[in-house]
Amino acid sequence: MIQMNKQEFDQLNVFGLGQPNDAFKEYFSGQSYLNMLAKTDNGISFANVTFEPGCRNNWHIHKAKSGGGQVLICIAGYGYYQEEGKEVQKLSPGDIVVIPANVKHFHGAQPNSWFSHIAVEVPGDEVENVWLEPVSDEEYSELGE
């Protein structure tokens, strides 16, 4: 069973915890934190998102007419990423996930580990983030550790 306590995690989370992600709290099961890192003139943004153990975001889609999507760069702890209808991916530091536009998915921490990734928003035409239903406790518990 993978475990990472807060003290171990803090030593590895080089970009820091940030602030409670209250603006998006309704789209997360559990507590998340957000540390905005940078935004370029052409609309690429970089944010460190941290999840407490067991925290995950709702199913969602990064919609775009063209371009768009998101890239996750895992930096500390252990997490999950899953696209609807596909097997879960277990995430570790150094993993990179390229999420195409218009794909329903979720990501978050494994049950016994803190997790942090850099979320890179990819610019595109007519982009919007569409939040959907939560990942149920039953769905989440079936992912294993």
| Per-residue pLDDT, 7 | 86
| Per-residue pLDDT, 86 | 96
Q: Is the pTM of this model over 0.85?
A: yes
Return per-residue pLDDT of the chain as tens, 145 residues. Answer: 577 778 888 888 889 899 999 999 999 999 999 999 999 988 899 999 999 999 999 999 999 999 999 999 999 999 999 999 999 999 999 999 999 999 999 999 999 999 999 999 999 999 999 999 999 999 999 997 5
Burial profile 15-49: b = 16 or more Cβ within 10 angstroms, e = fewer: bebbeebeeeeebbbeebbbbeeeeeeeeeebbbb
Cβ atoms 77, 114 nearer than 8 A? yes
Domains of the chain: 6-141 (2.60.120.10)
Exposure on the CB side of residue 72, measured as CA atoms within 13 A = 26
Cβ atoms 119, 99 nearer than 8 A? no
